[in-house]
Amino acid sequence: MNSRPRPGPAGIKGYITSLAACPDGTPVAALAVSRWIEHRTGWSIRKFVKTARCYRTIQIQAGPRASTAADPLPDELRQAFEAINATR
């Protein structure tokens, strides 16, 4: 069950305004970052999270030597990361 409040009579604008009232501003920052990722990649945030979630990098320490292990990124996800990191 979803515990987030649903937009009230004021609609989505009122919902976003209520998020903006949070003292630390975290929900507003998360919304801004999500919109920025969607704008830069052309993907929905849902698609981006579902695609990127399973690709992680780990570092293995064996004595004095550290090795990094990672699965190669698919071209589609690599291009999305390049779009995010690209300067305007």
1-14 residue pLDDT tens: 445 554 444 555 55
- The domain ranges of the chain are 11-67
> Which pLDDT belongs to residue 69?
86
46-68 residue pLDDT tens: 898 888 888 888 888 889 999 98
Q: What DSSP line would sit under the chain, residue for residue?
A: ---SPPP-TTHHHHHHHHHHTSTT-HHHHHHHHHHHHHHHHSS-HHHHHHHHTT--EEEEEETTEEEEEEPPPPHHHHHHHHHHHS--
pTM, full prediction = 0.56
